């Protein structure tokens, strides 16, 4: 009677990927919200600024959209909030009057150096019990998938 192809949603990998990513995101965003009052978008921007910014480079919003894979609107909003909280400073860009250069303030640096270790700690908690090779292959697969999804989207997208 069951001549249907017996499709099981629970086995569908994109579905598993989605619900897993959601579960992880929920955990992380809740932690950063409760401890630092930061949203994921804001946290991502700080992560980039804290890493690259400390190497001497000030970044534009455009740089940040590339680095975070977020919409430029999302980046703009995150920067605005962070600026209002005094965690990042914008200075006029000498070489381009349209944009500003962003960098963490002292206070921003302070929070950054507190947030990032807890991010790593959460990552460790999550991957506790995974061995090195597993994690390495997970990274590789995610990268491959991203590339594949991107190229397939481009094909049908135009």
Partner DNA sequence: ACCGTTTAGTTTCCTGAGAAACCGGTTCGC
Partner DNA sequence: GCGAACCGGTTTCTCAGGAAACTAAACGGT
**Based on CB atoms, which residue is closest to DNA, 62 or 139?**
62
Closest CA to 64 of 102, 13, 118: 102
Specify the length of the chain in residues. 158
Residue 105 touches which member of DNA, a copy of itself, none, C-beta under 5-8 Å by kind: none
| Cα separation, 147 vs 150, whole angstroms | 5
* Contact by Cβ (8 Å): 42, 81: yes
Quick check: 99 binds DNA (CB under 7 A)?
Answer: yes
47 Cβ neighbours under 8 A, 6+ residues apart: 112, 116, 119
- We find the least distance from the C-beta atom of residue 32 to DNA, in angstroms, to be 12
- We find the least distance from the C-beta atom of residue 84 to DNA, in angstroms, to be 12
Residue 5 touches which member of a copy of itself, DNA, none, C-beta under 5-8 Å by kind: a copy of itself
23, 35, 57, 72: which one contacts DNA (CB under 7 A)?
72
| Cα separation, 49 vs 59, whole angstroms | 7
41, 45, 46, 48: which one contacts DNA (CB under 7 A)?
41
């Amino acid at each position: 009677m069951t001549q249907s192809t017996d499709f099981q949603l629970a086995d569908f990998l994109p579905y598993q990927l989605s619900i897993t990513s959601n579960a992880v995101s929920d955990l992380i965003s809740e932690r950063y919200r409760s401890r630092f009052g930061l949203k994921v978008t804001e946290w991502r921007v700080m992560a980039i600024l804290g890493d690259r910014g400390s190497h001497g480079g000030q970044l534009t919003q455009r740089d940040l959209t590339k680095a975070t894979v977020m919409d430029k609107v999302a980046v703009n909003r995150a920067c605005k909030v962070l600026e209002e909280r005094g965690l990042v400073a914008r200075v006029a860009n000498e070489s381009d009057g349209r944009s500003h250069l962003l960098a963490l303030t002292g206070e921003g640096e302070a929070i950054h150096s507190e947030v990032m270790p807890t991010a790593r700690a959460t990552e460790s908690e999550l991957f506790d019990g995974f061995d090195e090779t597993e994690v390495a292959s997970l990274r590789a697969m995610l990268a491959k998938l991203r590339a594949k999804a991107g190229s397939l989207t481009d094909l049908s997208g135009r």
